[in-house]
Structure 1
């Protein structure tokens, strides 16, 4: 079996492991109904529409 010739340093080890912990930014798109920015594949918080349908009925606070 193959064995390492030298000890892997802490810096080299940590640089290698850092690749797995990178975070992706959330994909933000424009709502086609109210043109507000929202997360993709989720109901719009501003108007309550998703995929062209009103999912949440928004009531104006009086």
Structure 2
């Protein structure tokens, strides 16, 4: 059996505790290589560069093989 609390928490105490639980939007910065918005300290999803170095090899969209 789980332990039971002796008293119920008031609404004010509950809301004060949850006051810092709000979700914030991620901070977006401009990619210096392709100028698209990306998350800070992350590899750019559109060009694959991070700190001026290509980290992830990106395929060209026209070079993809069509599904047969």
Given the two structures, how large is their TM-score scaled by the length of structure 1? 0.73
CA RMSD of the aligned region, Å?
2.1
2:31 aligned residue:
31
Given the two structures, how large is their TM-score scaled by the length of structure 2? 0.67
C-alpha distance after superposition, 1:6-56 (max 9, x if no partner): x88622112211223122321111101000010110000000000111111
Q: How many residues align?
A: 56
